[in-house]
Amino acid sequence: MASSIKILPQYIANRIAAGEVVGRPEAVVKELIENAIDAKAENISLRIKEAGKSLIRIIDDGTGMDEDDALMCFQRHSTSKISSADDLENITTLGFRGEALASISAVSQVELRTRTASGEMGVMIKNHGSEIIECSPVSDSQVSKGTSITVKNLFFNTPARRNFLKTNQTEFKHIYDTFIRLAIANPTVAFNFVNEDEEIFDLKSTDLKDRIMQIYGEEFSNTLIEVNLQNDLISLNGFTSKPSFTKKIKQDQLLFLNKRYVISKSISYAVHLAYEDLIEKGDYPTFFLFLKLDPRKFDVNVHPSKLEVKFEDERSIFGFVRKAVWQALDKNDLIVGINLDDDKTSQVSQPATEAKIFSSAGFTKPANPNVSIPFEKKANVNIHEIYQRDNFVQPGSGVKELPLEVPEPHTQTSAKTYKHDIDDFSGKKSIWQFQRKYIMYQLENTLMIIDQHAAHERILYEQAVDRLNSNANLSQQLLIPIYVDLNAVDFEVVKSIETELRALGFDIEVLSKKKVKIRGIPSDVRIGDEAKIIQEIVDEFKENDVKLNLEKRDNLAKSYACKHAIRTGDRLNADEMLNLIDKLFSTKMPYVCPHGRPTIVKVSMDELDKKFARTGF
Ligand X SMILES: Nc1ncnc2c1ncn2[C@@H]1O[C@H](COP(=O)(O)OP(=O)(O)O)[C@@H](O)[C@H]1O
Which of 25, 62, 64, 95 touches Mg ion (CB under 5 A)?
Answer: 95
Q: Which residues of 120-140 are buried (b: 16+ CB within 10 A; e: fewer)?
A: eebbbbbbbbbeeeeeeeeee
Of 30-69, binders to Mg ion (CB under 5 A) are 35
- Contact between 168 and 50 under an 8 Å Cβ cutoff? The reply is yes
Which of 22, 28, 29, 36 touches ligand X (CB under 6 A)?
Answer: 36
Does position 469 bind ligand X by CB under 6 A?
no
Does position 100 bind Mg ion by CB under 5 A?
yes
* Nearest residue (CB) to Mg ion, 70 versus 273: 70
Q: How far is the CB of 31 from ligand X (least distance, A)?
A: 6
If contact means CB under 5 to 8 A according to the sort of partner, which of Mg ion, ligand X, none does residue 590 touch?
Answer: none
Closest CA to 44 of 30, 29, 60: 60
Q: Show Cβ contacts of residue 209 under 8 Å, excluding neighbours closer than 6 positions.
A: 221, 224, 226, 239
Give long-range contacts, CB 8 A cutoff, 24+ apart: 269-273. 269/318, 270/317, 270/318, 270/319, 270/321, 270/322, 270/325, 271/240, 271/321, 271/322, 271/325, 273/322, 273/402
**Binding window for ligand X (CB under 6 A); candidates: 99-107, 161-169, 395-403, 609-617:** 99-107
- Contact between 28 and 56 under an 8 Å Cβ cutoff? The reply is yes
3-state secondary structure of 49: strand
Closest CA to 132 of 105, 97, 100, 98: 105
If contact means CB under 5 to 8 A according to the sort of partner, which of ligand X, Mg ion, none does residue 23 touch?
Answer: none
- Contact between 386 and 335 under an 8 Å Cβ cutoff? The reply is no
* Nearest residue (CB) to ligand X, 64 versus 594: 64
Does position 100 bind ligand X by CB under 6 A?
yes
The 3-class secondary structure across 390-422, one letter per residue, is CCCCCCCCCCCCCCCCCCCCCCHHHHHCCCCCC
If contact means CB under 5 to 8 A according to the sort of partner, which of ligand X, Mg ion, none does residue 525 touch?
Answer: none
If contact means CB under 5 to 8 A according to the sort of partner, which of Mg ion, ligand X, none does residue 148 touch?
Answer: none
- Tell me the per-residue interface mask from 68 to 97 with ligand X, x by CB under 6 A, - otherwise: -----x----xxxx-------------xxx
Q: How far is the CB of 137 from ligand X (least distance, A)?
A: 17
Does position 125 bind ligand X by CB under 6 A?
no
Give the nearest residue (CB) to ligand X.
95
Binding-site size, Mg ion (CB under 5 A): 3
Q: How far is the CB of 70 from ligand X (least distance, A)?
A: 8
- Give CA separation, 221 vs 180, 216, 218, 224, 374, in Å: 15, 7, 5, 5, 14
**Binding window for ligand X (CB under 6 A); candidates: 55-63, 453-461, 506-514, 532-540:** 55-63
Does position 101 bind ligand X by CB under 6 A?
yes
Residues that bind ligand X (CB under 6 A): 31, 35-36, 39, 60, 62-65, 73, 78-81, 95-102, 147
Residues that bind Mg ion (CB under 5 A): 35, 95, 100
